[in-house]
A and B are shown apart, each in its own frame.
Chain A
Amino acid sequence: QAPIIIKFSHVVASDTPKGKAAERFKELAEKATKGRVKVELYPNSTLYKDKEEMEALQLGAVQMLAPSLAKFGPLGVKEFEVFDLPYIFPFKDVLYQVTEGPIGKSLMQKLEPKGITGLAFWDNGFKIMSANKPLHMPADFKGLKMRIQSSKVLDAQMRALGANPQVLAFSEVYQALQTGVVDGTENPPSNMYTQKMHEVQKHLTVSNHGYLGYAVIVNKKFWDGLPADIRAQLDTAMKGATSYANAIADQENGRAMDAIRKSGKTTIYELTPAEKAEWRKALLPVQTEMEGRIGKDLIASIRKLSTAGGK
């Protein structure tokens, strides 16, 4: 009997945290189903690019994707933009309470009417800010052209800092930073290091102001059509891959920070508590500003977790 084929397409290299986690899933899934399922990986947008993979999934041209959480707004599920809000997760515990608790579940449920089943959240870490000048206080952002990926929330975030947000394709970022088309950007450390952006950015601030993560999703019709036992086995494999993904995200970010520090090309700055308070003061209003888009209750429920879980 021919194996069931899962085409798993993503837009980053195989040696990134997401790429490695995808490989781990393939390994676990093929082992758990004893070869009844074959997972074909297509990294680096070789099959579908950033802008087309969602449609390809809905058409059934691929079965599995792991897009970044910012991609779900344009799909019509604006609630996912909550992950982009600055300082919404004070630390990882709250994040996991959201992604692995009832809030995460209800978010994933919202994908079902779009023909998509959400399987897991994969971590990529908190973002740091970089530019060619020191960024200690919000006032330092004044007039800076900061590259963001297309997102209303990130746009509002940069504006709240007084910066001038610029949407640029990921492939253009390195040269744009180098020549000065844009002055700075935000990234988790692992992305910054693998894209060599630290080579063209003199200053970096460990702000952890925002979060970047992925959701692993499958075509709903395909998923529901699988035999129940296989679905259960794949679920287990996904759980294994998810804990691996979250563990290596932390690891790779730590390793990237060390490597950037060692390269000596970038000055790394840690915010003092007083400075951090200023950043929060500047950025927290964005949460209120976005209530209309994302949902007041959703934001409030995460804030409640933050205050309650503040150990």
Chain B
Amino acid sequence: MKFLDHLEEWLIAFLMGAATLVTFIAVLHRYASGMPIPGLQDALIKINTSWAQELTIYMFVWMAKFGAAYGVRTGIHVGVDVLVNKLNTPWRNKFIVFGLLAGALFTLIVGTLGAKFVWGIAQTDQTTPDMELPKWIVYMAIPLGSYLMSFRFLQVTWVFIKTGELPKHDHAHVEGLEDEVKA
């Protein structure tokens, strides 16, 4: 479990950083190859960076799907809890469990639809336009991410029923500023 947690964290942090670098390098490349420096310009134009946009998009889609699962585990997904928070504890708990199970159900259905869809696309020769990767591999983000998310919802439900604790991301909290506040 710890391994899966780390893999998830490592993957999304990596995708975030890598996508930023790829886009940054593509911009630098376009800018530099626009400068009429003899020799260098020809060399730069020969380097093809047309895949950069596509790669960035796919990296972020994968980050979004796996990050959404990580977000369930850390309680980052926002909901309208104004009403529910006004209820007494037993009722409030019922609603929370209902919400978590609804999340598990939705992601389970989407994961299965996604798996069916990927299976269908895998029967074709579709590729992405720029990198010409098989489309079904790229679309794997949907079933993988959704099943992982469903698993995370069930995990959180289980812990909540057993301990009454809910992961809660504090959107009002930003790390690294405590020291400045004190100073």
CB 8 Å contact bits of A114-150 with B (1 = contact, 0 = none) = 1100000000000000000000000000010100001
- Size of chain B's interface in residues, with CB distance under 8 A? 22
Is the CB–CB distance between A150 and B126 below 8 Å?
A: no
| Interface segment, one of B45-53, B76-84, B86-94, B165-173 | B45-53
Chain A's interface size range is 20 to 34
Q: Which of B36, B41, B48, B117 contacts A59 (CB 8 A)?
A: B117
Asked whether A310 is an interface residue with its Cβ less than 8 Å from the other chain, the reply is no
Distance in angstroms from B23 CB to nearest chain A CB is 13
Is the CB–CB distance between A76 and B125 below 8 Å?
A: yes
A137 to B136, CA, bound (A): 43
Distance in angstroms from B17 CB to nearest chain A CB is 23
- List the A side residues contacting B126 at CB < 8 Å: 54-55, 74-76
CB 8 Å contact bits of A18-62 with B (1 = contact, 0 = none) = 000000000000000000000000000000000000110011000
A143-B41, A155-B50, A167-B50 given; A58·B120 CB < 8 A: yes
CB 8 Å contact bits of A64-76 with B (1 = contact, 0 = none) = 0000000001111
Q: Which of A55, A74, A159, A162 contacts B128 (CB 8 A)?
A: A74
Asked whether B5 is an interface residue with its Cβ less than 8 Å from the other chain, the reply is no
Is the CB–CB distance between B50 and A143 below 8 Å?
A: no
Residue of A nearest to B134 (CB): A76
Secondary structure dominating the interface of A: mixed
A159 to B44, CA, bound (A): 12
Is the CB–CB distance between B129 and A75 below 8 Å?
A: no
Distance in angstroms from B138 CB to nearest chain A CB is 11
Residues in chain B within 8 A of chain A (CB atoms)? 30, 33-34, 36, 41, 45, 48, 50, 53-54, 117, 120-121, 124-130, 132, 135
7 contacting pairs across A/B (C-beta < 8 A): A55-B126, A75-B124, A76-B124, A145-B30, A163-B45, A165-B50, A167-B53
Residues in chain A within 8 A of chain B (CB atoms)? 54-55, 58-59, 73-76, 114-115, 143, 145, 150-151, 155, 159, 162-167
